[in-house]
Structure 1
Amino acid sequence: MEQFTINGHEVVDGDVKATGNGAHVYVPKRWRGADVKVVRTSDPDDE
């Protein structure tokens, strides 16, 4: 696993949910319009 340093304001720890042909990670509505980064911290489960 690689290590990254990211400067930011808040962290949300959540699960990725399947949606159509892709997936979603939900964040607070107040984050709309903000620049965000998503970092995968584990291998995906093969289903």
Structure 2
Amino acid sequence: MERFELNGHEVVDGDVRATGNGAHVYVPRRWLGADVKIIRVSEPDQDDE
């Protein structure tokens, strides 16, 4: 696993959920218009495909 160091304001710990042909991670509405970064911290489940 790689190690990353980021400066930021808040962290949301959540799950990626299937949506259409892709996937979404939900964040608070107050984050609309903010610049965000998503870091995958585990391997995807193979049975979800």
Cα root mean square deviation, aligned? 0.3
Match of 2:23?
A: 23
Please list every run of at least 4 consecutive aligned residues from structure 1 whose deviation after the TM superposition is greater than 6 angstroms: none
Instruction: Calculate the TM-score normalised by the size of structure 1.
Output: 0.98
- 1:23 counterpart letter in structure 2: A
Q: Once the 2 structures are TM-superposed, how far is the Cα of residue 18 of structure 1 from its aligned partner?
A: 0.3
Aligned length: 47
1:27-46 to structure 2, matched below 5 A, reads 27-46=27-46
- Percentage of pairs with the same residue: 74
Name the structure where helix makes up a greater proportion of residues. 2
